[in-house]
Structures are given as structure tokens and as C-alpha cells.
Structure 1
């Protein structure tokens, strides 16, 4: 959804925002208005203002919960590193934690939750036969699998097969 909810935004600068329009001529009221508008564009040294209640209302409680440990840690580092550098390190550290968690979760799944003969679901990881082209040693490639080895899914290694 658009920021203006489908309503075309209205510029507050009027026609004096365009230099060509200002060169055509401005009335004294427009000059005063333009002068005030330019003064209003200058931010005070106290801005931007961080309002804790505003950000608490805008962020999801679950998001605040999982961001809290890094926020606490980097709030302690902010006086040492500086605000901008601490924010950059906090961002990078959070992304590295999420990436490492994803890698470890994927590894765990494929190690312990893969497709084998004991369960119906799970991703099945298979290896295709190697590509051996004419003129290479081992051409034509023939497997040493017995017919009972196909669709085994790890049953022969389980200890039940005799």
C-alpha cells in the first residue's frame, strides 16, 4: 500500500519550489513564505529525537524480545565505538547470528531428519552417477549396485536386513 493510501501527495512548497517559477516573479507574500519555508527545513541540533514509547508501539513484541540481547550488548559498546559504528556492528552481528543459525539448522535437518526407510517424509538426498565421457578412463560407466540396492534408503545398513 502506498504511503499516502492512494491519495496523491500534495507538495507544501507550492510553485516556488521550482527555480523557473521563482525567476518569473514572486510577490512579497510569496517571498516571506519562501523565506519561512527555508528556515523550517533546517533541523535543530537536538533532532532527530528518539522517543522510546514511539518505537515500542511500532515494533512487534516478539521482535523486541529477540533483539534485546544484542541491543543491551551494543548499548554498552556505544560509548566506546560511537553510535554509528555500534549500529553497524550490531546489524552485522545480528545477520551473522541468523545466518549461522540457518546453516546449523539445515545441517541438523539433513543429518537427523532426512529421508530414510524409517519414515515417510523428509527431503531425500541422492547422488547422481559421475559423468564419464567417451575417451575418459572408466567409459562406459557401470555401477556395481545389485538390483536389491536400488530404493534401499539405508535399510541394509540398519542391522535388520540379513
Structure 2
């Protein structure tokens, strides 16, 4: 959903936003309006204001649940690190945690769900034969598969049956 909810945004700066328009001449009312507009652009010392109730209404309960541990840790550290640095570290820590979880998940899957002769499913990982060029040791490359039963054996010969 867009920030304006489908309604075209309205420019509140008027024609005074362009320097060329201001140089053409402004009335006293336009000057007063421009002065007030520039004054309104200065933020107060306590802004931006974090309203907890508004944040709770706008965020999903599931999102609040999985963000809670890091929010708790880094809210305590924000006094030491500063609010901006703590928010940055919290963001980086969350992303690195998700990356580590993904890597561990992929490692687990390939370690325990490999495709071998005992099961139908799982990803099958094949190795290509090495590139051996003329003049290199081992040229011409001879396969280590000696018998026809060595092909497509999918780990059967290594099984302790």
C-alpha cells in the first residue's frame, strides 16, 4: 500500500518552493507564508516522537513476538551506544542471525536429506570430472569407475549391509 493510500499527494510548498518563482516577485502575504513555512520545517528537540500505542496498532503481533528478544537487548544497550547506533547494530544482528539460520538450515538439509539409494527424495549432488589439460599431470583423464556397476550406484557400495 502506498503512503498516500492511492490519493495523489498535495504539494504544500506552493510556488515558493522554486527559487525562480521567488525571484519573480512575492507579495507580503506570500513572504509571510514562506517565512512561516520555513519555520515549520525545523523539528523540535524531542522529535521524532515514538508513540508506543501507535507502533503497537500498526505492527503485526507475530512481528512483535519475533522482534522482542533483540528489541529487549538493544533497548538496554541504547543508553550506552546511543539510539541510532543501537538501532543499526540491532538491524545488523537480526540480518546476520537470519543469514546464519539459513546457512545452518541448508547445511542440515544436505547433511541429513541427501539423495542416496535408500530414499527417493532429496537433492542429488553430482560432481563433474576435473578439467585436465594437455601438459598437466593426469592427462588424459581416466575415470575411477572401472566396472559398469560403478555408474549410478548412489552410495550403495559404501553401505554397511
TM-score (norm 2): 0.90
Which 5+ residue runs of structure 2 have no aligned equivalent?
none
Residues 91-111 of structure 1 show CA distances to partners (whole Å, capped at 9, x for unaligned) of: 121122111111111111110
Q: 1:6 to 1:76 in 2, by over 3 A?
A: closer
Residue matched to 2:69? 69
Which deviates further from its counterpart, 99-108 or 57-66? Answer: 57-66
Matches within 5 A, 1:76-115: 76-115=76-115
Residue matched to 1:28? 28
1:31 match: secondary structure: helix
Residue matched to 1:155? 156
Q: Using the TM superposition, give the Cα deviation of residue 120 of structure 1 relative to its aligned residue in structure 2, in angstroms.
A: 1.4
Q: Using the TM superposition, give the Cα deviation of residue 7 of structure 1 relative to its aligned residue in structure 2, in angstroms.
A: 4.4
Q: Which runs of 4+ in 1 moved over 6 A?
A: none
The CA RMSD over aligned residues, in Å, is 1.6
Matches within 5 A, 1:3-82: 3-82=3-82
Residue matched to 2:131? 131
Which 5+ residue runs of structure 1 have no aligned equivalent?
none
The alignment of Structure 1 onto Structure 2 pairs a total of residues equal to 160
Q: 1:75 to 1:7 in 2, by over 3 A?
A: closer
TM-score (norm 1): 0.90
Q: Using the TM superposition, give the Cα deviation of residue 10 of structure 1 relative to its aligned residue in structure 2, in angstroms.
A: 2.3
Distance in structure 2 (CA, Å) of the matches to 1:5 and 1:55 = 19
Residues 66-104 of structure 1 show CA distances to partners (whole Å, capped at 9, x for unaligned) of: 111111111111112211221122112112211111111
1:80 match: secondary structure: helix
